[in-house]
Chains A and B, each alone.
Chain A
């Protein structure tokens, strides 16, 4: 019994070690796919802005930000080798937590500062006329 459990433990250790040793490392194919996708996803936004392709600046801005998000995902998957299984899911948990804080920080700052801006706007000339 004890020997068997010892063996099991040993096997588990070996497995753990093999996994830890390599960490999450990619293959050549992973890196090449990631690189090609990243090049395409970088070239498109530069082209959109430099050649002024889309009719409005707002559309260009949206496209640039959308492509950036896609490229971040490509980097995460093909270069950083993120998946839900590495380190028993703890890396994914840390990432999700960070993303929540990042979203709160960014949207919160923009919201609050925009609000302040609109409320504390310096009086316009036509408002000044009504001041006694």
Chain B
């Protein structure tokens, strides 16, 4: 018996690393891996746009279509929504329900502002005859920017869901975990938007 115990102790010593740092709750890591897979979707769409972005089919180019002031306002809205979400997370850490809800509401409104400007822009393009079916450039543009917009839409729905949950159940451990996941999602969308405004809009106007 004593021998067996000595063995297990020795085993424990030898393999102590397996006990250390194992994830107690893999949600955040799992969500991160989801975000990485999402990142691959966007990488493929960016590659698609990079390949097709100059095939105008004798139609309008980015320099003819893109309205940089609108893009700048959109970028500002998304950036502001990132920091207001940060403030919401700080309030949630301090277990203050009302400021958390208020900051989440501001974040949601900024997200909706972003979406409505983007929809306005799409609508404008389609009415000018520069819809997704016009050329390969416009097809890849609408798919890339539209996929990002769709992500923001789902982010907004998720945000409202969490606001209802926070209002009903307060800020427990599991609620903070959910807020943390949406925080990663929201900031990740802002990172993707950096690629979109730099690569698609700014370089598109340059060409």
A contacts, CB < 8 Å to B: 12-13, 16-17, 20-23, 25-28, 30-32, 34-35, 38-39, 42, 45-46, 49-50, 57, 60-61, 64-65, 67-68, 71-72, 75-76, 79-80, 87-88, 90-91, 94-95, 97-98, 101-102, 105-106, 109-110, 113
Is the C-beta of B82 less than 8 angstroms from some C-beta in chain A?
yes
Q: How far is the CB of A112 from chain B (nearest CB, A)?
A: 9
Is the C-beta of B102 less than 8 angstroms from some C-beta in chain A?
no
Q: Are B51 and A109 in contact (CB under 8 A)?
A: yes
Q: Are A94 and B36 in contact (CB under 8 A)?
A: yes
Would A64 and B68 be within 8 Å (CB), given that A35-B82, A105-B40 are in contact? no
Q: Are B177 and A23 in contact (CB under 8 A)?
A: yes
Is the C-beta of B134 less than 8 angstroms from some C-beta in chain A?
no
Q: Are B50 and A46 in contact (CB under 8 A)?
A: no
When chains A and B are docked, how far (Å) is the Cα of A25 from the Cα of B183?
Answer: 10
When chains A and B are docked, how far (Å) is the Cα of A95 from the Cα of B188?
Answer: 12
Q: Are A25 and B40 in contact (CB under 8 A)?
A: no
Chief secondary structure at chain A's binding surface: helix
Is the C-beta of B176 less than 8 angstroms from some C-beta in chain A?
yes
When chains A and B are docked, how far (Å) is the Cα of A60 from the Cα of B188?
Answer: 26
Q: Are A45 and B51 in contact (CB under 8 A)?
A: no
Contact of B43 among A90, A101, A113 (CB under 8 A): A101
User: How many of chain B's residues have a CB under 8 angstroms from any CB in A?
Assistant: 52
Q: Give chain B residues whose Cβ lies under 8 Å from the Cβ of A101.
A: 40, 43
Is the C-beta of B57 less than 8 angstroms from some C-beta in chain A?
no
Would A64 and B198 be within 8 Å (CB), given that A28-B90, A79-B86 are in contact? yes
When chains A and B are docked, how far (Å) is the Cα of A83 from the Cα of B186?
Answer: 18
When chains A and B are docked, how far (Å) is the Cα of A98 from the Cα of B43?
Answer: 10
Q: Are B90 and A31 in contact (CB under 8 A)?
A: yes
Q: Are B90 and A35 in contact (CB under 8 A)?
A: no
When chains A and B are docked, how far (Å) is the Cα of A95 from the Cα of B94?
Answer: 30
| 8 Å CB interface, B157-207 against A | 173, 176-177, 180, 184, 187-188, 190-191, 194-195, 197-199, 202-203, 205-207
Top 6 closest pairs, chain A to chain B, by CB: A31-B86, A68-B198, A88-B21, A109-B47, A98-B36, A79-B187
